[in-house]
Structure 1
């Protein structure tokens, strides 16, 4: 009886062992797929974050550029208006107070 059980037990052990190895290989493949998908998702998320950061940086750069242009226009307008006001004031002074012209020319 025991001679008959031993070979069957060995066949069963080999069969179970082979089955376990096969299942472990499948499980390993599933794990690799899951890890790969997770890494791909992480890289994709990182790429999206970087793209958004670059877009935000471009927007900020554009806003700074527009602010600088606006400030430059405002400064030119202010300087131009000041020069015009100064010139108008000198014309009025020159017109109403003839002695100023004598003082300026001296």
Structure 2
């Protein structure tokens, strides 16, 4: 998420990614399998992007808690997934293990219904 923030703030620069040693700031994060985000967090700034046809599109960045983890009930996971799906036109998932690919496929199937 923090790399997306860097890009949104520095789109005009070819060096938008920043220095290798520059710390990532913005959304709270950490490595590992323990959840960092609880619920849904939306960045407070709306980014306006110029499309090639001259129209503008508003971009909001949203982070959600991991779904189907050891700390969430099925109801928690389904609620976060449903709410984030209703307010998003594009979603990206972080998949770290082969077993989680099946979860992404199930989510895609649920969205299409």
**What is the TM-score of this pair, normalised by structure 2?**
0.15
More strand by share: 2
More helix by share: 1
Q: In terms of Rg, which structure is larger?
A: 1
